[in-house]
A and B are shown apart, each in its own frame.
Chain A
Amino acid sequence: MSGRDAILAAVRAALAGRPAPAAEPSAYRRRGEMTADQVLARFLERLADYDVHVTVLEQAAEIPATVAERLAARGAEALAIPADLPPGWVPEGVPVMVDQALPYRSLDTRPSVLTGCALAIAETGTLVLDAGAGQGRRALTLLPDHHLCVVFESQVVETVPEALQRLKPAVLAGRPLTFCSGPSATADIEFDRVVGVHGPRRLDVILVRA
């Protein structure tokens, strides 16, 4: 008997004769109730809690200037980007490396990476990447130490359930999701919280209100 047969037989025997429970209607919130302004304010509050630097812009045209400024503020120079990043986002004069199947060691040497995102969750201060347009592969936002992420106001949802509902098509298309809520952390040593273990230690969010 294969493992599969053995397990399914054991499970079926364990359940034999017991009627399935009636489905209970769920009462948890599936959507939020805040206004768009409140959602945005909540998102900014949460990011501040994580010590993530946020710049709020009125339009996408201001992105390159902000990127240049944030790179300078962090003392970073070289920038990695996904191949399908909107070209208007990249500042002049910054050495840029496009990630086209770069070996991991190369990516590891790039201090900064600039991408867009799939959406953001206000309640938890979460950025979600779904390997979609302008986001690149997962290794791109994992190996560099500094991640600049552009978020449009229309991409910010209030709650986790709303985010998952919006992400479902990407999942059905087989794309991987990465939820980032602040920088990595550990409290394994005496419960003393240390920020920045693996993954980017510095996060910059560029929020565009357009």
Chain B
Amino acid sequence: MSGFPERARRSLGDSQLRRNLAKATATIRAKTGKVSAELPDWEALRDAGRAIKRETLAELDKHLVALEDSVTRAGGVVHWAADAAEARAIITGLVQAHGAKQVIKIKSMTTDEVELNPALEAAGVRPFETDLADMIVQMAHEKPSHLLVPAIHKNRAEIGALFREEMDEPDLSNEPADLTRAARAYLRGKFIESEVAISGANFAVAETGSVAVVESEGNGRMCLTLPKVLISIMGIEKVLPKWEHLEVFLQLLPRAATGERMNPYTSIWTGTRAREGDAADGPEAFHLVLLDNGRSKILADAAARETLHCIRCSRCLNVCPVYQRTGGHAYDSMYQGPIGAIVTPQLKGLAAAGDLPYASSLCGACQEACPVRIPIPEILVHLRGRVVAEGHAGAGERAAMAAAKAMFDHPTLMGAALAAGRVMQAPLARDGRIGRLPWPLDGWSLSRDFPALPPESFRDWWKRRKAKA
């Protein structure tokens, strides 16, 4: 199994990262708490969000077909990608068919999930990330460390150094305002010249064939409107049946994600240009790629299905005591924190990521914070059960559990084991606790105390009491 504990230990030692994370998550917690408390019907919105997702998933095939229909009628083309390889092939094919040598991209975790950028590069197409943080991460050849603020692990000095080199602006200061201004100028040319853009999607409405992208910087608007060809890739779980469902999600998402009453820009488009006449507005061609890549498997696991309710707000990351300290790289996936701990093992497989459901103290802060009430702790425990049931638990753990089972099945064996335990613990127990257990249990007791066995078991006490009476 991969090493969350090892990666976590490494990131815990990075004090710059911990400072950034502590400040970032505290700020966002305060903001999201304040704006969600402002709405008198916040809890009703959360209930509605959960209900809409549940009802949508229960008839997902029907809604996907309806979406395909409405997008097609509005002038778009719908493609279906069963897995990452198909998605890469479809998108690369569309870009090449247009003859483009570069594409501009809006932040999309779905494109990261299918590893699109390397595939484009291999096909001779240069992808340019246009979200400020993704652009920073791309320039630095690193991986994102947070769902919403992917470059939060870098400070202004590091970013300044990067920009001075990549943008050829040797006099650029490290002030965030200057860095942002430099990015604006640098990207404007790209926005105006590029012919093909690739985006994700936050929601797609089956009733109308509309797709919505929620953003803060304006690069989304640039990519969605200026180029000739727009390709949007979207996980199949993001379809909403009706236009009115946006009433719920356009309130839940900005307040839970960035702690704003509304994010700066939301773009909702339906197919291709509707306006006749000479004022062309938006792309001539729109392609919607629907992605499965393991989502139908999650759908099939009834106890874990609510994983698919996620609207990618990242509020669970910001309240998680584990994420706050280890940061995102420790999860080794673009899906991080509590939601990452349940999605990644289901998409990557339990053999590859089976330790992630254990990267939690089950405190439940994530469930309380989640705008659609995903029962993350329940799903974590369910996945832990699957890790064991499907044979991914370590040999030591299996042996210990088998021994425990034997003891519980045979009372005399239990009695003998306890008697032996009482003798063996004598040198280790202090004040009713054992601070360090012997191997192979020493790892468990590194940060926990074990209660010492009492001088007499309940059964012995009972026998003694009965004999007295």
Instruction: State whether A198 touches B81 (Cβ < 8 A).
Output: no
One of A68-76, A150-158, A169-177 contacting the partner: A169-177
Residues of A within 8 A of B184 (CB): 196-198
Once A and B bind, how many residue pairs between them come within 8 Å at the CB atom? 261
B292 touches A10 (CB 8 A): yes
Task: Bits for A141-180, please: 1 = Cβ < 8 Å to B, else 0.
Answer: 0100000000000000000110011001001111111111
What is the 8 Å Cβ interface bit string for chain A, positions 2-35, against chain B (1 contact, 0 not)? 1110111011111100101101101111100000
Instruction: Tell yes or no: B96 within 8 A of A by CB.
Output: no
CB pair A199 B41 closer than 8 Å: no
Known: A12-B61, A20-B58, A189-B156. A139 touches B27 (CB 8 A): no
Q: Which of A107-142 contact B (CB under 8 A)?
A: 108, 121, 123-126, 131, 136-139, 142
Whether A188 contacts B279 by the Cβ 8 Å rule is: no
Q: Which of A100, A138, A139, A174 has the most CB of B within 10 A?
A: A174
Contact with A along B273-310 (1 / 0, CB 8 A): 01100111110000000101000110110100000000
Say yes or no for A92: interface residue by CB 8 A criterion: no
In the assembled complex, B216 has its CB within 8 A of some CB on chain A: yes
Bound CA–CA A137/B275 (angstroms): 9
Q: Does A187 contact B (CB under 8 A)?
A: yes
Give the residue of A2, A174, A176, A191 whose beta carbon is less than 8 angstroms from that of B149: A191
Alpha-carbon distance between A44 and B136 when the two chains are bound, in angstroms: 36
Please, how many angstroms separate the alpha-carbon atoms of A8 and B219 in the complex? 34
Is B120 among interface residues, defined by CB-CB distance under 8 A?
A: no
Task: Take A21-B55, A190-B156 as given contacts and tell me if A176 and B268 are in contact as well, using a CB distance cutoff of 8 Å.
Answer: yes
Other-chain residue from B20, B44, B155, B244 in contact with A164 (beta carbon distance below 8 A): B244
Question: Does A59 count as interface, using CB distance less than 8 angstroms?
Answer: no
A65 within 8 A of B: no
CB under 8 Å from chain A, chain B span 162-189: 176-177, 179-180, 183-184, 187-188
Q: Is B264 touching A171 in the complex (CB atoms < 8 A)?
A: no
B41 near A14: Cβ-Cβ < 8 Å: no
- Give how many B residues have a beta carbon under 8 Å from the other chain's beta carbons: 95
Knowing A7-B292, A191-B152 touch, does A164 contact B236 (C-beta < 8 A)? no
Name 22 A/B residue pairs within 8 A (Cβ), A-sorted. Answer: A3-B80, A3-B81, A7-B82, A11-B236, A27-B47, A29-B41, A83-B279, A100-B279, A131-B274, A137-B275, A138-B221, A165-B244, A168-B208, A176-B269, A176-B282, A178-B266, A186-B133, A189-B176, A190-B152, A191-B24, A191-B28, A198-B217
Given A6-B80, A27-B48, A184-B218, 10 extra CB contacts under 8 A: A7-B296, A125-B261, A142-B218, A176-B269, A181-B263, A190-B155, A192-B176, A194-B180, A196-B184, A197-B184
Interface residues of A (CB under 8 A from B): 2-4, 6-8, 10-15, 18, 20-21, 23-24, 26-30, 46, 82-83, 99-101, 104-105, 108, 121, 123-126, 131, 136-139, 142, 160-161, 164-165, 168, 171-192, 194, 196-199
